[in-house]
Amino acid sequence: MNLPYGTGHSQVLVLAAGGPGELYRDSVYPNGCFGSLGLALEAGIELVNLTESQFGIGTRREGFPWNLSGTYVQAMPHVYSIDAEGREHHFLADYYRSTQELASNLFRKGYQWPFHATRMLDFGSSLVDLAIYRESAAGRRVLMDYNRNPMPVPGDLPFSLDRLDDDVRQYLGTAGAGQAQPIDRLRHMNPLAIELYRRYKVDIAVEPLEFAVNNQHMNGGIQVDRWGRSSLAGCYAVGEAAGTHGVTRPGGAALNAGQVFGTRAAEHISACRMAKSAPLGDMTDLAEAGVVELLAVLRPDSPLTVKAIRTQVQARMSDCAGMICDAESVALALREAGRLNAEISQKGIASGHSAEMARALQWRQMALASEAVLGALDFFIRHGGGSRGARAICDSQGECIPGTRSGPLQEYRFRKEREAHRSEQVVVKLEDNQLKISTRANHTFDENVRSFFERDWPAWLTGKVYDT
Ligand SMILES: Cc1cc2nc3c(=O)[nH]c(=O)nc-3n(C[C@H](O)[C@H](O)[C@H](O)COP(=O)(O)OP(=O)(O)OC[C@H]3O[C@@H](n4cnc5c(N)ncnc54)[C@H](O)[C@@H]3O)c2cc1C
């Protein structure tokens, strides 16, 4: 597909449409986040690091999407699940060996918010994520109750603010959060946290809060250079659309990255003087061809509906490409994703009114983005890729096993990350309607070479630094 930039006034396009939140069923993104990865693929633009994402606990977009990090868990509410018969389960007690260990790791979810495979080991804080994930997979609802302290692990002492790990006790002591109930500790440390949910008609001071492990961020995306330039001349990408977020993005870094690259792209576009120069040829034909190509996907008689595509893509991504993965289910999911895209190409998407037409186009691109993520993941796993950042790559031959108080969880045995994979990126590109997946060595950066004014400043003065 050709990308006719703007309306014929510019040779520059900046993709800044955010992350592909709609890819997953279990998602803490607001509704309607589609991003532009599918569009970029259709335009032949290279994507990188699609294997990297973030998952963590939060309330889903069906209600009010929000991460339960920071003081929400540092207040240490009681976490439990409810089964179909309405029975309560104190499931975290099946994982941790003592009430102190359970409460301390719940607290640590505050600043160790995203899931990380290695934190499932040694009774770490991601065992909380795994436990919640397993409860949800078993069809139970998971809740946190701010009017109850964590219940004791059977056979152990009850919860006490005096029986917490040193880092936790010190933090709460410094914060002055010695109140007896979680809701009072939360009110003391962050009263707005309670008000925030009240605004969305959920009063956590009165009723328990339902939550789950959700997808929250795409760390990969459009491959860009230091100025935000993509592999397509004149096309830039900034923010979550750009693949600049690495493997273990620290909280808060997404917004900063968007601001930094927004400024850099603007500076570069200005230096190139491209924004104000007219396109080289007549854009009308190109734009028309693009529109015709887009509209060709809309076919009233197609058996494929937007709803069916959405359900299929989101279920596949959450079930097979969430925080727990394995080679077999990813490979199967990839084949199914390929089949869906072939069917879309062949039969188009049914659409009625005009709003649905736009959704149909967005879902065509999401289906493609989903195949690209699964393709990158499959490639990574087939080449020995291990667990890092977002996902645990489960493997019966893996070196690591998460332990619980009643023994190791063999089915979650997982691979370690391979050192060599730290020096390369997985690159995905659509060529002749086929996903091409390869690796590219990371740029190296010599930390010892410091900037030197008299050597470096001339390149800024002359504009050489922009590499136009
Ligand atoms: C619950 C939650 C909590 C988070 N907390 C933090 C945090 O504490 N710190 C942090 O750094 N990051 C956080 N993030 C991540 C961060 O919010 C996002 O990465 C960041 O907002 C992305 O910014 P963006 O400008 O790239 O995209 P967005 O903010 O998503 O903006 C994209 C814009 O493009 C528009 N758009 C989309 N498609 C099109 C189109 N086709 N044409 C025209 N316009 C389009 C959208 O309407 C939107 O206005 C959080 C994310 C979530 C979901």
- Write the CATH number for 379: 3.50.50.60
Q: What is the pLDDT of residues 424-442, one digit of tens each?
A: 999 999 999 999 999 999 9
Q: Is 59 in the pocket of ligand 1 (CB under 6 A)?
A: no
73 lines ligand 1 (CB under 6 A): no
What average pLDDT does this structure show over 433-458? 91
What pLDDT sits at residue 448? Answer: 85
In a domain, 463, yes or no: no
Q: Is the Cβ–Cβ distance between 409 and 131 less than 8 Å?
A: no
Mean pLDDT of 399-416: 97
252 pLDDT band, cuts 50/70/90, is confident
Position 7 scores a pLDDT of 43
Structural domain of 178 = 63-210
The percentage of residues in the chain with a pLDDT greater than 90, rounded to a whole number, is: 85
Checking if the pLDDT of 91 tops 50, the result is yes
Residues 410 and 286 in one domain: yes
Could you tell me which residue, 258 or 2, shows the higher pLDDT? Answer: 258
Query: Residue 353's pLDDT band (boundaries 50, 70, 90)?
Result: confident
Q: Are 222 and 241 in contact (CB under 8 A)?
A: yes
Quick one: which atom of ligand 1 is closest to the CA of 18?
27
Classify residue 433: in a domain, yes or no. Answer: yes
The residue from 176, 210, 244 where one domain ends is 210
Q: Does the C-beta of 17 come closer than 6 Å to ligand 1?
A: yes
* CA nearest to 123, candidates 157, 163, 165, 89: 165
- Mean pLDDT to the nearest integer, 35-59: 97
Provide the mean pLDDT of the chain: 94
51 vs 277 pLDDT, higher one:
51
CA distances from 201 to 31, 75, 207, 299, 466 (A): 18, 21, 11, 41, 50
**Smallest CA separation from ligand 1 atom 53, residue:** 29
Q: How far out from the chain centre does Cα 409 lie?
A: 25
Q: What is the pLDDT of residue 2?
A: 46
- 221-222/47-48 β-pairing: antiparallel
Residue 279 has a pLDDT of 67
Cα angle 349-37-357, degrees, rounded to a multiple of 5: 25
Ligand 1 atom, smallest distance to 39 CA: 41
pLDDT for 187-197, tens place per residue? 999 999 999 99
223 and 204 within one domain: no
Q: Is 42 in the pocket of ligand 1 (CB under 6 A)?
A: no
Mean pLDDT of 340-351: 95
On whether both 196 and 134 belong to a single domain, the answer is yes
> 31 with 78, same domain?
no
Say if residue 33 is in the same domain as residue 148: no
Q: In the prediction, which pLDDT does 221 show?
A: 98
23/96 same-domain check: no
pLDDT of residue 4 exceeding 80: no
Residue 29 Cβ contacting ligand 1 at under 6 Å: yes
Does any ligand 1 atom lie closer than 6 A to the CB of residue 15?
no
**Is 467 contained in some domain?**
no
Residue 274 within a domain: yes
Give Cβ neighbours of residue 319 (< 8 Å, ≥ 6 apart). 329, 333
pLDDT at 251: 75
The answer on 188 and 318 residing in a single domain is no
Ligand 1, atom 43: closest residue by C-alpha: 17
Regarding the beta carbon of 155 and ligand 1, being less than 6 Å apart is answered no
Give me ligand 1 centre to Cα 401, in Å.
35
At 1, is the pLDDT very low, low, confident or very high (cuts 50, 70, 90)? Answer: very low
Both 320 and 424 in one domain: the answer is yes
Task: Please choose from 67, 200, 263, 362 the residue to mutate so as to test ligand 1's pocket, defined by most ligand atoms within 8 A of CB.
Answer: 67
Residues 157 and 289 in one domain: no
In a domain, 446, yes or no: no
Residue 255 Cβ < 6 Å to ligand 1: yes
**Does the CB atom of residue 66 touch ligand 1 within 6 A?**
yes
* Residue 236 sits in the same domain as residue 285: yes
Same domain, 397 and 350: yes
Phi and psi at residue 173, to the nearest 5° = -65, -50
Q: What is the mean pLDDT of residues 164-188?
A: 98
My answer on whether 293 and 399 are in the same domain is yes
Task: Report the nearest-CA residue for atom 31 of ligand 1.
Answer: 18
pLDDT number for residue 390 = 84
Residue 468 in this model has a pLDDT that exceeds 90: no
Which atom from ligand 1 is nearest to the alpha carbon of 239?
Answer: 26
Nearest CA owner, ligand 1 atom 45: 17
149 lines ligand 1 (CB under 6 A): no
* Positive or negative: CA dihedral 91, 97, 102, 105: negative
Say if 132 falls within a structural domain.
yes
Mean pLDDT of 144-152: 98
Residue 9 clears pLDDT 80, i.e. is over it: no
Q: How far apart are CA 125 and CA 108, in angstroms?
A: 6
pLDDT tens digits, one per residue of 259-290: 999 999 999 999 988 777 766 677 788 888 88
453 is a domain residue: no
Output the CA 229–ligand 1 centroid distance in Å: 19
**Which percentage of the chain shows pLDDT scores above 70?**
97
Q: Which residues pair with 427 in a beta bridge?
A: 48, 438
Nearest CA to ligand 1 atom 39: 17
Q: Is 209 in the pocket of ligand 1 (CB under 6 A)?
A: no
Q: What's the maximum distance between 2 C-alpha atoms anywhere in the chain?
A: 78
* DSSP 8-state secondary structure symbol assigned to residue 50: T
Domain count, the chain: 2
Mutation test of ligand 1: which of 7, 217, 245 has the most ligand atoms closer than 8 Å to its C-beta?
A: 217
Say if 460 falls within a structural domain.
no
- Say if ligand 1 is within 6 A of residue 197 CB: no
